[in-house]
Amino acid sequence: MQINVIGIGAGNPQHLTLEAIAALQESDAVVALDKGENKADLLGARQYIIATHAPGIPLITVSDPPRDRDPADYRAEVRRWHQARAQLLLEALPDVEQVAFLVWGDPALYDSTLRIIERMRGLGLDCSVRVIPGITAVHALTAAHGILLNRIGEDIRITTGRALLDGPTTNAVVMLDGGAAWLDVPDAQIWWGAYLGTELQVLRSGTVAEIGAGLAEEKAALREQHGWIMDIYLLRR
């Protein structure tokens, strides 16, 4: 079996590359993890992509196994969860030549699909893997604001809300922030985007000192309103 791990871009169906469309059309089935109703729009985006570019290809959804969000040992819990996901996906894999996994953004950036496929191999799956790159949320953010990630010659760090203060914030892109970690860097500039590439897209920019507190309130209100939120931002000092 061949598994096509296809980056689908970060929200806008037009992010899909020609290579991604071709790989999808060569696939016999698509497998997706259903992450529950809060993220239903993400599953909806995959359904839309299949209906548009490869109608008729079966979509097999697997319900995400439960995860402890506040474990004593975070890494151990994530490993246990990935193993449970691998087991469920392995059981759901159809007996076909090519299966596609549609991955949000790019498969190399904060995504566990490739790791889970390795675990499936560990459980006995015999497969080759082909990766098709996708437009990341980082690029959706910079394009939406029309900005560069760095000033001339500077380095860029991509991190999570949890780890923001563990390293430099010359140019720090923050993903996976459940709260408002920007408030910890009051002297930075921020370029923030939520629901990028979708009809719900919201963009804000300014100094953290000026807009940070209001943005934290707005983020909470948007999450309340829509039931979920995905946001990303560049901080620059």
* Token representation of residue 35: 């992450």
Q: Is residue 197 a contact residue for ligand SAM (CB under 6 A)?
A: yes
Q: Going by C-beta distance under 8 Å and a sequence separation of 6 or more, which residues neighbour residue 38?
A: 227, 228
Applying CB under 6 A, the span of 21-29, 56-64, 150-158, 190-198 interacting with ligand SAM comes to 190-198
DSSP-derived 3-state class of residue 115 = helix
DSSP-derived 3-state class of residue 122 = helix
Q: Is residue 191 a contact residue for ligand SAM (CB under 6 A)?
A: no
**Contact flags string 9-28 toward ligand SAM, x per CB under 6 A:** -xx-----------------
Contact 202, 157 (CB under 8 A): no
Q: List binders of ligand SAM among 46-105 (CB under 6 A).
A: 104-105
Contact 202, 193 (CB under 8 A): yes
230, 234, 235, 236: which one binds ligand SAM (CB under 6 A): 230
Q: Is residue 193 a contact residue for ligand SAM (CB under 6 A)?
A: yes
Q: State which residue, 99 or 144, has the beta carbon closest to ligand SAM.
A: 144
Q: List binders of ligand SAM among 117-156 (CB under 6 A).
A: 136-137, 140
Total number of residues that touch ligand SAM (CB under 6 A): 21
Report how far apart, in Å, the C-alpha atoms of 170 and of each of 53, 151, 153, 167, 213 are. Answer: 41, 9, 11, 9, 21
231, 234, 235, 236: which one binds ligand SAM (CB under 6 A): 231
The helix (run of H) or strand (run of E) holding residue 118 is helix 113-122
**Sheet strands (E) in the chain:** 2-7, 29-34, 59-63, 98-103, 128-132, 157-160, 171-175, 189-194, 202-207, 231-236
Q: Is residue 33 a contact residue for ligand SAM (CB under 6 A)?
A: no
43, 194, 208, 234: which one binds ligand SAM (CB under 6 A): 194
Q: What are phi and psi of 107, to 5 degrees?
A: -65, -15
33, 45, 99, 175: which one binds ligand SAM (CB under 6 A): 175
Binding positions for ligand SAM, rule: CB under 6 A = 10-11, 104-106, 109-111, 136-137, 140, 175-176, 193-197, 230-232
